[in-house]
Amino acid sequence: MANADDDAQGGAAGTHQSPSPLHQRHLDLGAKLASFGGWIMPLEYAGGGVLKEHAAVRGRVGVFDVSHLGKVTVRGPGTAAYLNTCLSNDLDRIGPGRAQYTLCVDDASGGAVDDLIAYLRSPDEVFLIPNAANTTEVCRRLTSAAPDGIDVLDEHHDHAVLAVQGPSGDELLRAVGLPTGHDYMSFVQAEHAGAPVTVCRTGYTGERGYELVTPSAAATSLWDALMTAGSDFGVLACGLGARDTLRTEMGYPLHGQDISMEISPVEARLVWAVGWSKDSFWGKEVLTAQRTAKAGPLLRGLVASGRGIARPGMSVGLPGSRASVGHVTSGTFSPTRRQGIALALLDRSVHDGDEVSVGMRGRHEAFVVTKPPFVQTGVRT
């Protein structure tokens, strides 16, 4: 028996790896650790495992440490207006206290430097959560374009981020004295044990839930409170392995796999996160041309007809043909459906409902092109 492929989520090997503020808690819980974007993070926990942790989030509640995510404050007069000329989505669509999924696009190529969440605190202050591995590059681009008076502050190590996800998440937050019930993609400022906590109705699992941003020094006390109170709700500490199966069931793209410098937001079908009517934003020209040309490949979902589990990089073809019509960008076993699910970048000739064939390890497995999400959840309710 030997591993045929490595962990998909590689970090920068050989460079310094940052521990999370909750590193000791992960060790205490017997976590299997892995490198994510330069951070040492829990993949899964002893006594848990991807399937149990996944089920906890779908059925009860799970708590994730996602402190590897970037945290960037952009501050100064006209910050929101400035960011609106850079990032793809339109901050004018939301008001203060609201968050928005957006993209940092490379102006020349239309490739995605990163996808991120922008939290509009005020017209003069926006908090960004980019992906761990892309934070430095996003900060570099935003800093170099910023007018005088607007500061881009990389606060990557200053804050911890805990995600409380699942149908019992509201009860768990109330049990530790945090506010709940605000709208999807909105956030409120609160306190726990004397430390500030931003409670955001956001997440990457498809379940109703919250992401909590708190100073790194306060992370352990918040984690302990959640885990202690959570025992009444069947809480499990959940690792990034379950986070990946959960997000794949929703068809949420992962930067570096489903969206990247090579896979544009148009190809990844993220046109809803682009403010097309804005005068300008990075990549507007290239993305508009792609959108008009309707020629490039598109990201679509796949569901296995049999027992096959597609993995990133596998070639997709049509039944009975050797010609490739694309490749798998994310693929895993869906714990909820108990079958293989995947995202794949496919030629425009392929449509939802078509049968395709994924080449894996010397054989071909049938999949049906299926529009995500692959499971129905209550993320917005």
Partner 1 sequence: MNPEDLKYTPEHEWLRIEGDAAVIGITDYAQEQLGDIVYVGLPAVGDTIDPGASIGELESTKSVSDLFAPVPGVVVERNESLEQNPEVVNSDPYGEGWLIKVTLSDPNAVDALLDGAAYRALISE
Binding residues for partner 1 (CB under 8 A)? 1-8, 32, 43-44, 49-51, 241, 245, 307, 309, 311, 332-333, 335, 338, 361
Closest approach of partner 1 to the CB of residue 32, in Å = 8
For 20-111, strand residue ranges (E) read 32-36, 39-44, 62-65, 72-75, 98-105
Q: Which is nearer to partner 1, 37 or 308 (CB)?
A: 308
List C-alpha distances in Å: 234 to 68, 156, 246, 260, 325: 25, 31, 18, 37, 44
Q: Which is nearer to partner 1, 59 or 179 (CB)?
A: 59
Phi, psi values for residue 53, rounded to 5°: -70, -40
Residue appearing with tokens 């400022």: 189
Closest approach of partner 1 to the CB of residue 51, in Å = 5
Using CA atoms, how far apart are residues 110 and 75, in angstroms rounded to an integer? 26
* C-beta of residue 127 within 8 angstroms of C-beta of residue 202: no
Both tokens of 319, joined, read 């039944």
DSSP label at residue 15: S
Closest approach of partner 1 to the CB of residue 336, in Å = 12
Using CA atoms, how far apart are residues 227 and 164, in angstroms rounded to an integer? 10
Closest approach of partner 1 to the CB of residue 2, in Å = 6
Q: Which is nearer to partner 1, 33 or 142 (CB)?
A: 33
Q: Do the strands 18-19 and 39-44 form a parallel or antiparallel pair, or are they unpaired?
A: parallel
Q: Which is nearer to partner 1, 175 or 375 (CB)?
A: 375
Q: Which is nearer to partner 1, 9 or 198 (CB)?
A: 9
**DSSP per residue over 242-285, as a string?**
HHHHHHHHHT---BTTTBSSSS-TTTTT-GGGS-TTSS--TTHH
Closest approach of partner 1 to the CB of residue 339, in Å = 9
Q: Which is nearer to partner 1, 259 or 310 (CB)?
A: 310
Q: Which is nearer to partner 1, 294 or 363 (CB)?
A: 363
Q: What is the Rg, in whole angstroms, of the alpha carbon atoms belonging to the chain?
A: 21
- The strand order across the sheet containing 209-215 reads 187-192, 195-200, 209-215, 159-165, 62-65, 236-238
230 sits in which H/E element: helix 219-230
175 sits in which H/E element: helix 169-175
Q: Which is nearer to partner 1, 287 or 304 (CB)?
A: 304
Closest approach of partner 1 to the CB of residue 313, in Å = 12
The b-or-e profile of 191-228 (16+ CB within 10 A means b, else e) is ebeeeebbbbbbbbbbbbbbbbbbebebbeebbebbbe
Closest approach of partner 1 to the CB of residue 361, in Å = 7
Q: Which is nearer to partner 1, 130 or 335 (CB)?
A: 335
Closest approach of partner 1 to the CB of residue 242, in Å = 8
Closest approach of partner 1 to the CB of residue 244, in Å = 8
